């Protein structure tokens, strides 16, 4: 039996431009999506919510890739956003598609593992020869190299966890989807997941509440979806 929980917290801007949606079909397949819009407007906040619903619904009819391509059309070239979407089948098989710096995480009952790799300039510096100091790379982590505006069948990344016994979402396992306001917001993800792993809604609430402001006082919108077996 798959259960889901989600939570979101507006940052220091006027509008929460994150969106999230979960949906479980009659056969037990669960679809979940997090959209992280870059900006601060009523229009973008609305589009992020609509896009999250569209991605999850289209992922069921077609695929996560098709869902993200549809979200790209919804937001258009005027808006920048990152996105991650996950499908968990009734047998525990997992497919994750993403673009940008939203992330998916796997909790196996004892350790938290990041499934996705950010599409940011900071991450590109880390993997392009090792010449950049970590502090330089970290300073570029908010610079998206790819966003929904650049979503194509080639640029959208995908990871599947379908075969090995330790990569099926079974009892005690969790799949977490986060916007960067969580994982770049000083949140102790592993420690809090360990503490609240048996209560998905409590975990989601605690993670967004733990997001911290930067030295300049800015705090990003923070959104989490938790999928539990």
Residue-level pLDDT, tens digit, the chain, 229 residues: 899 999 999 999 999 999 999 999 999 999 999 999 999 999 999 999 999 999 999 999 999 999 999 999 999 988 999 999 999 998 889 999 999 999 999 999 999 999 999 999 888 888 876 666 777 788 888 889 999 999 999 999 999 875 455 567 888 899 999 999 999 989 999 999 999 999 999 999 999 999 999 989 999 999 999 999 8
CA distances from 195 to 55, 167, 223 (A): 31, 21, 19
Q: What is the pTM of this model?
A: 0.94
What pLDDT was estimated at residue 131? Answer: 61
What pLDDT was estimated at residue 137? Answer: 81
What pLDDT was estimated at residue 126? Answer: 82
What pLDDT was estimated at residue 99? Answer: 98
Asked if 223 and 22 touch (Cβ cutoff 8 Å), the reply is no
CA 140 to chain centre: 19
What pLDDT was estimated at residue 202? Answer: 98
> What is the spatial distance between Cα 82 and Cα 181, in angstroms, rounded to a whole number?
12
């Amino acid at each position: 039996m798959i259960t889901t929980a989600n939570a979101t917290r507006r940052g220091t801007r006027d509008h929460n431009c994150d969106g999230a949606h979960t949906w479980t079909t009659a056969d037990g397949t669960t679809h979940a999506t997090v959209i992280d819009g870059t900006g601060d407007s009523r229009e973008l906040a609305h589009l992020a919510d609509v896009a999250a619903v569209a991605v999850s619904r289209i992922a069921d009819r077609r695929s996560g890739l098709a869902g993200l391509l549809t979200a790209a059309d919804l937001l258009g070239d005027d808006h920048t956003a990152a996105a991650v979407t996950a499908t968990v089948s009734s047998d525990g098989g997992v497919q994750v598609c993403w673009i940008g710096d939203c992330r998916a995480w796997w909790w196996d009952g004892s350790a938290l593992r990041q499934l996705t790799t950010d599409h940011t300039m900071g991450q590109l510096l880390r993997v392009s020869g090792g010449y950049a100091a970590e502090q330089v790379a970290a300073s570029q982590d908010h610079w998206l190299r790819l966003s929904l505006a650049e979503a194509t069948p080639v640029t959208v990344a995908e990871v599947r966890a379908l075969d090995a016994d330790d990569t099926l979402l079974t009892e005690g396992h969790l799949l977490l989807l986060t916007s960067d306001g969580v994982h770049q917001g000083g949140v102790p993800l592993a420690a809090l997941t360990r503490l609240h792993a048996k209560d998905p809604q409590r975990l989601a609430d605690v993670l967004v509440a733990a997001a911290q402001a930067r030295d300049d006082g800015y705090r990003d919108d923070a959104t989490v979806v938790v999928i539990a077996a």
